[in-house]
Structure 1
Amino acid sequence: MKFIPQNINHIKNLDKEEFEALFQFSQILNSSPGQDSLIEDAMDIVINIINAERGLFVKYNEEENNFSIISARKISNESITDLNQFSSGILQKVISEKRPLLYHDVMGDPNLSQFASVQIHSIKSVIGVPIIRDDKVWGVIIADSTKNRQEFTEENLIFLNFFSNLLSLALDRILKLEELERENRILINKLESVEEIPEMVGRSVVMKNLTQVIHKVAQTDATVLITGESGTGKEIAAKAIHQLSKRKDFPFLAQFCGSIPDSLLESELFGYKKGAFTGATADKQGLLEAADNGTFFLDEIADISTALQAKLLRVLENKEIIRLGDTKVKNVNVRIIAATNKDLSALVKEGKFREDLFYRLNVFPIVMPPLRERREDIPLLATHFIKKISGKNIPIEPAAIKKLENYYWPGNIRQLINVIQRAVILCDSQKITADHIILEGTQELMDFKGTLRDFEMMLLKKRLEEFNGNRTLTAKSLGVSVRWIQMKLKEMEQKADER
């Protein structure tokens, strides 16, 4: 319907209630956040003004020539989910004529009474209007009754026609906004897959995947468990999750849990009440409490005692803490991120780590890749750390890069930083050469005078020491199977017995 003077004059025929309904609907248009809520509110207005017994709003699929329910209501405020309860024939008639239709005696009209749904539900009065968008029928509003409704008048038809025009304009605005939001989500998703995280340098496939995962989990409040070898940057990943989250304006606090007496660690985490122990001369707030609304990072979580594990479980389950020496429960809104270089699932099987706590921590696991699995990032990392340590862009020779790439890096990024720092100190020229790159264990291998078998055994022992006896990590660093490691260790035992 176009707003030509003749149609505008028809507005004079609307009563006060209908004018108020149009005004009410115009307010809804300016406040409705989405398509679904808009249409639900629209149906309420239609049923209320026309005093219909039922109301239906359907979307029309032109390609398949069918309808799908968006909203269907009874006057009793009950929802209708079965489209077959309405006449598809009448819907098609509105579509084909592409204009508002009004029928006072459907059962007496041979062109309409033939429709099965009309007969089944004894429909007598129907009023229907198309929703036009881009000169096409986007949907249809139908209101019907089993009585001869005198309210279904020409004036009501004018009201619904203006109503459908307003609804069409609203749908156009909302659908465009929803499309923009969809495109925005797609762009954000693409950006997350390539956008680098500060301090997490690298363009390898594993680093791109890690970056995308961090971006995604940062948007949630899920508890994260970061695993990986020492020196892979677990705390950097935890900080990145915090900085990309909604908690970024609140504290990020961290606590290293390894090699700390249990009582000291507990007092640091939970705080204490004055007089709780000798030396507790005043109340002290714990780190978990201080991190309220922010993020708390527990590094080397595998090293805490079983007693402390039970208290951490309470924090994760109930968001509650109790200071040492106190009985008062305090609520804390803190996101927990934990990290370890140990296999927590294996510790659970050994009875050294609580199973319930493990599952609470392992809501969203992240595995930090070792440096040997991202060797293509080494040139970028080397350049980055040279600039960070020296404050200058000191070039590094290809031979030096090759030397770095060929090393197995048991200490990962932390070890690389130490090697670069030594190289910067030793560099007395305008560039870093291979001679400036000093790698642990390489001189010992160069001076080795034994047999190939002896060399093999020496290298195996050295790697086992570097990985704290972990056969899986040792096998991975050597590029062999765990079975090979077990076989060689058995050979070493047999050789020792022979002696």
Structure 2
Amino acid sequence: MENSYSKEKMFKTLFEISQTLNSILSLERLLNKVMDLAIETLHAERGFIILKNESSDELKIATARNMEKQDVKDLSVISRSVVRSVLHDRKPLLTHDAKVDTRFRGSESVRLHNIISIMCVPLLLKNRLFGAIYVDNTRKKGVFSDEDLEFLTIFANQAGTVIENARLHESLLDENVRLRQEVRKIYGYESLLGRSPKMLRFFELLDRIIDSDVSVMLLGETGTGKELAARTIHYNGPRREKNFVPLYCGSLPETLLESELFGSKKGAYTGAVQDRQGLFEVADGGTIFFDEVCDVSHPIQAKLLRSLQEGEFRRVGETKIRRADVRVISATNKDIKKEVR
């Protein structure tokens, strides 16, 4: 048996592998990369990652690869007796020749598929078992050494962390999609009550503007559902995957409103201890909703108008011009014609 590693080479290889793995968030890509790296480094013929279902504890082969970095189609070729032993004992396992090893020579898969050299280690995270990494060779015995087993054990500890992070990342993405779908249901047309002729005309107007980027002004008395209408426009339109940012303009004094809208530079005013994004930056790509927009002072209105026309703004205390792509929906309970006079 070859001693594949000096300690220095082992740690250098593990460091390089960790940098590669930490750059991948897609679970499928990550699992394939983990297996390809293990096979390549250990000169294995095939490799498998087995994961436990969190809710049922059922075992599933999550990825199966060969030395050509191709998927293994026949998943029955793995020695399940080896995997069961590792998962039961929660300890790494190495056999130089499974066909004469008293623990596995009676295994049907070992005999049928001529499995000879095998290594298998548990995947653990904070002492929680969630799977195993398995590699083998059907061509010759003694392919793997004790040093190889030590390497694969350390490698599995690294891989366990990044695999779990990728699983959580995918879970969060799925949850995000589900929640956005729920939001679209909540703010569908069904959420707007009423089937009177006036409401039907209002729905027709919504149909005409929802898929565009035009700015919208909603007029109506307090409590008539202007913000609900604004959310309906956003969550049914092309910007629905981005933020909907509401702002009640009547609640903020002029100086605070400017920094709230455009952000501020560190040191721009007392208490500005760090750079701060404004709502235009937060809403970039999405929609910003100005409730009671007529309460905005004239100086702020002028700056707001430039931002709407040019898509440009400056943070308070900063000379740098920034850009934001937002759709603006405004609302007021006042008579605009009277306010303009």
What is the TM-score when the length of structure 1 is the normalising length?
0.39
Do structure 1's residue 204 and structure 2's residue 174 form an aligned pair? no
Do structure 1's residue 245 and structure 2's residue 228 form an aligned pair? no
Letter of the aligned partner of 2:192 in structure 1?
A: R
Determine which of 26, 50, 58 is the counterpart of 1:58: 50
Give the Å deviation of 1:150. 3.9
Letter of the aligned partner of 1:131 in structure 2?
A: L
% identity of equivalent residues = 26
**In terms of Rg, which structure is larger?**
1
Distance in 2 of aligned mates of 1:127 and 1:153: 9
1:388-467 equivalences in 2 (<5 Å): none
Give the Å deviation of 1:15. 5.2
Structure 1 match to 2:148: 156
What secondary structure is seen at the aligned counterpart in 1 of 2:103? helix
1:280-291 equivalences in 2 (<5 Å): none
Moved more, 41-50 or 175-184: 175-184
Structure 2 match to 1:105: 97
What secondary structure is seen at the aligned counterpart in 2 of 1:241? coil
Q: Is the 8 A contact 1:107 1:124 kept in 2?
A: yes
Structure 1 match to 2:168: 176
Q: Is the 8 A contact 2:48 2:61 kept in 1?
A: yes
Give the Å deviation of 1:91. 0.7
Distance in 1 of aligned mates of 2:94 and 2:124: 18
What secondary structure is seen at the aligned counterpart in 2 of 1:141? strand
Which structure is richer in relative contact order (CA contacts within 8 A, separation 6 or more)? 2
Determine which of 14, 29, 32 is the counterpart of 1:40: 32
Give the Å deviation of 1:81. 3.0
Structure 1 match to 2:294: none
What secondary structure is seen at the aligned counterpart in 2 of 1:113? coil
Q: Is the 8 A contact 1:57 1:139 kept in 2?
A: yes
Distance in 1 of aligned mates of 2:112 and 2:124: 30
Structure 1 match to 2:321: none
What secondary structure is seen at the aligned counterpart in 1 of 2:160? helix
Cα pair distance change 1:230/1:170, threshold 3 Å: closer
Cα pair distance change 1:137/1:240, threshold 3 Å: same
Cα pair distance change 1:143/1:88, threshold 3 Å: same
Cα pair distance change 1:232/1:103, threshold 3 Å: same
Distance in 1 of aligned mates of 2:195 and 2:49: 49
Structure 2 match to 1:94: 86
Distance in 2 of aligned mates of 1:247 and 1:204: 22
1:252-331 equivalences in 2 (<5 Å): none
Q: Is the 8 A contact 1:43 1:57 kept in 2?
A: yes
Do structure 1's residue 14 and structure 2's residue 3 form an aligned pair? no
Cα pair distance change 1:195/1:102, threshold 3 Å: same
Distance in 2 of aligned mates of 1:106 and 1:126: 7
Do structure 1's residue 74 and structure 2's residue 60 form an aligned pair? no
Q: Is the 8 A contact 2:119 2:149 kept in 1?
A: yes
Letter of the aligned partner of 1:162 in structure 2?
A: I
Cα pair distance change 1:391/1:27, threshold 3 Å: farther
Distance in 2 of aligned mates of 1:176 and 1:205: 42
Letter of the aligned partner of 2:206 in structure 1?
A: I
Give the Å deviation of 1:64. 5.4
Cα pair distance change 1:206/1:183, threshold 3 Å: farther
Cα pair distance change 1:81/1:59, threshold 3 Å: farther
Structure 2 match to 1:30: 22
Distance in 1 of aligned mates of 2:89 and 2:173: 34
Cα pair distance change 1:161/1:388, threshold 3 Å: farther
Q: Is the 8 A contact 2:118 2:134 kept in 1?
A: yes
Structure 2's unaligned 5+ residue stretches are 214-236, 242-330
What secondary structure is seen at the aligned counterpart in 1 of 2:91? coil
Determine which of 78, 82, 85 is the counterpart of 2:77: 85
Determine which of 114, 121, 142 is the counterpart of 2:134: 142
Letter of the aligned partner of 1:124 in structure 2?
A: I
Cα pair distance change 1:77/1:176, threshold 3 Å: closer
Give the Å deviation of 1:88. 1.1
Distance in 1 of aligned mates of 2:167 and 2:338: 52
Distance in 2 of aligned mates of 1:33 and 1:240: 34
Give the Å deviation of 1:238. 3.6
Q: How many residues align?
A: 222
Give the Å deviation of 1:66. 4.2
1:472-491 equivalences in 2 (<5 Å): none
Distance in 2 of aligned mates of 1:70 and 1:201: 42
1 or 2, which has the higher strand percentage?
2
Give the Å deviation of 1:176. 2.5
Q: Is the 8 A contact 1:123 1:144 kept in 2?
A: yes
Letter of the aligned partner of 1:183 in structure 2?
A: E
1:270-320 CA-to-partner distances (Å, cap 9, x unmatched) read: xxxxxxxxxxxxxxxxxxxxxxxxxxxxxxxxxxxxxxxxxxxxxxxxxxx
Structure 1 match to 2:271: none
Structure 2 match to 1:236: 206
Q: Is the 8 A contact 2:125 2:157 kept in 1?
A: no
Cα pair distance change 1:391/1:176, threshold 3 Å: farther
Q: Is the 8 A contact 1:47 1:143 kept in 2?
A: yes
Q: Is the 8 A contact 2:31 2:163 kept in 1?
A: no
Structure 1 match to 2:178: 186
Structure 1's unaligned 5+ residue stretches are 1-11, 208-228, 249-383, 393-499
What secondary structure is seen at the aligned counterpart in 1 of 2:210? helix
Letter of the aligned partner of 1:241 in structure 2?
A: D
Distance in 2 of aligned mates of 1:85 and 1:206: 64
Cα pair distance change 1:242/1:163, threshold 3 Å: farther
Cα pair distance change 1:204/1:93, threshold 3 Å: same
- After superposition, the CA RMSD in angstroms is 3.5
Letter of the aligned partner of 1:158 in structure 2?
A: E
Letter of the aligned partner of 1:245 in structure 2?
A: P
Letter of the aligned partner of 2:207 in structure 1?
A: A
